[in-house]
Structure 1
Amino acid sequence: MDALTRLVIIFSSVFFILKISVAVDTITANQIIRHGDTITSAGGSFELGFFSLGNSRNRYLGIWYKKLATGTVVWVANRDIPLTDSSGVLKVTVQGTLVILNGTNTIIWSSNASQYAQNPTAQLLESGNLVMKNGSDSDPENFLWQSFDYPGNTLLPGMKLGRDKVTDLDRYLSSWKTTGDPSMGNFTYELDPSGFLQLIRRNGSAATFRSGSWNGLRFSGFPALRPNPIYKYAFIFNDREIFYTYELINSSVVSVKIWREIRN
């Protein structure tokens, strides 16, 4: 094999690898995700696919940390309506909606995008956010739908904990029922917009913790919440929305979690 031929083969292989790499974090209307298939965010931090917990036969579509040995699940789509076998699929419809179909082709879960899409594409971002968008439009303001608007028991960096006043969307955390059952448990953690603006943890309807009101620097009941070298936080209150959020400074700390059953 001469040098020119070898060079062509090498460049062809690199191109093929790059072509695959570009597509591994997206699903288009011509693709589906089956049992055993996954997509991975561009930087390799998160993975999306179907999974089961323990010895249960129930299957869920979820997102988990790919780089952690435990495969910690951070978001579940069909948490209250599991599949009972391996015949279900995730599909992107031509209208721009994500749907999970069971073995009889019945929709058991769907995203609620209200806009018709042009060239609909679902993408798993490096932040762990699963988004529906028009083609390659990566402007967050134009996303048709995003999983960050529907958190489970995990608050990832960049997520908003609070309310969109325009759409009345309320973003709050809810515990898993058990470690083997991701359906909604008894505990919730939310930003209470009435009266003093504060974070409240509830067991059912009973408040078990209040953060105290925001004093401009931190919630008054969180004396330890202060500027630090690990993460930075913000509380936003304007005409459009009200929310708490945080971003990592030190990426070795991966998330703040509300575990399945918060007892203290």
Structure 2
Amino acid sequence: MRTTMDRIAPIFLFLLLIIDTSTAIDTINTTQSIRDGDTILSANGAYELGFFSPGNSANRYLGVWYAKISVMTVVWVANRETPLNDSSGVLRLTNQGILVLSNRNGSIVWSSDSSRPATNPAAQLLDSGNLVVKEEGDDNLESSLWQSFEHPADTLLPEMKLGRNRITGMDSYITSWKSPDDPSRGNVSVILVPYGYPEIIVVENSIVKHRSGPWNGLRFSGMPQSKPNPKSQILN
């Protein structure tokens, strides 16, 4: 005869499995990896990180896309200039806090960098769609080791910054895909000019096609119909 413990043990085990698989699905550490076919999901379920092939291309890329939109809409690509030609790609996080994407031969296809040495790094896909490398348990974005929002692709997301970081000297701007099948840098860029009164310009084939007008503290003066967005930021 089965005891009460015999009956509840499978249920208890099932609950443990649910708890285990529902935590840390947005994060990897140095002992974990993401292989082609694996994904991680932001805690709010809005964004997903994994491997994909754009359009009719057979090449594989590591990227972030909207998880709740039926038609895949990619918002960030890691290796946009260095595609994988098969499904052997693996993303790992090193003990130094650097994301490394390698192919079947172990050759590095793409890697992030780090602002300082890491102690106990983790990589997390935030609810904003930002892929962040940080010290595990440290949720202060300003102290992160690296973040994808500082390396935009062709999409400007809320909380993403455009402009020049005056500390690092790095410029952040968005650039179109070359084609629907090729996410490498195309010929159209949206750039925030940081000199004097900042303004946004749209450049196509090195020719300025549009200017937003200077920033007046609330909006760009050449776009009077626009409304202030509290989540939009300009680097100072």
Distance in structure 2 (CA, Å) of the matches to 1:74 and 1:34: 20
Letter in 2 for 1:146: Q
- How far apart are residue 218 of structure 1 and its match? 1.2
What residue number does 2:65 align with? 64
Cα 1:233–1:114, aligned 2, differ >3 Å: closer, same or farther?
closer
What residue number does 2:158 align with? 157
- How far apart are residue 43 of structure 1 and its match? 1.4
Matches within 5 A, 1:112-261: 112-227=113-228, 232-234=230-232, 236=234, 241-242=235-236
- How far apart are residue 233 of structure 1 and its match? 4.9
Distance in structure 1 (CA, Å) of the matches to 2:231 and 2:143: 25
Instruction: Compute the TM-score of the two structures, normalised by the length of structure 2.
Output: 0.93
Letter in 2 for 1:13: F
What residue number does 2:47 align with? 46
Report the identity percentage: 52
Distance in structure 1 (CA, Å) of the matches to 2:94 and 2:220: 43
- How far apart are residue 52 of structure 1 and its match? 0.6
Consecutive unaligned residues of structure 2, counting only runs of 5 or more, are none
1:3-31 Cα shifts (integer Å, max 9, x gaps): 55444443432232112111211111111
Would you say the 8 A contact 2:198–2:214 is kept in 1? yes
Distance in structure 1 (CA, Å) of the matches to 2:25 and 2:143: 22
Cα 1:233–1:96, aligned 2, differ >3 Å: closer, same or farther?
closer
Letter in 2 for 1:59: R
Distance in structure 1 (CA, Å) of the matches to 2:46 and 2:160: 16
Q: Does the alignment pair 1:77 with 2:78?
A: yes
Matches within 5 A, 1:12-27: 12-27=13-28
SS in 2 for 1:155: coil
SS in 1 for 2:105: coil
1:197-224 Cα shifts (integer Å, max 9, x gaps): 1001101321100000112321111111
Letter in 1 for 2:218: L
Distance in structure 1 (CA, Å) of the matches to 2:213 and 2:6: 70
Matches within 5 A, 1:91-130: 91-130=92-131
RMSD: 1.7
Distance in structure 2 (CA, Å) of the matches to 1:48 and 1:15: 25
Equivalenced residues, count:
235
Letter in 2 for 1:29: T
SS in 2 for 1:220: coil
Letter in 2 for 1:211: S
SS in 2 for 1:190: strand
Cα 1:234–1:32, aligned 2, differ >3 Å: closer, same or farther?
closer
Letter in 2 for 1:186: N
SS in 2 for 1:75: strand
Would you say the 8 A contact 2:159–2:232 is kept in 1? no
Instruction: Compute the TM-score of the two structures, normalised by the length of structure 1.
Output: 0.84
1:116-166 Cα shifts (integer Å, max 9, x gaps): 211221111111010111122111122100001101110111111122111
Distance in structure 2 (CA, Å) of the matches to 1:2 and 1:222: 73
Cα 1:235–1:149, aligned 2, differ >3 Å: closer, same or farther?
closer
Consecutive unaligned residues of structure 1, counting only runs of 5 or more, are 243-264
Distance in structure 1 (CA, Å) of the matches to 2:7 and 2:205: 66
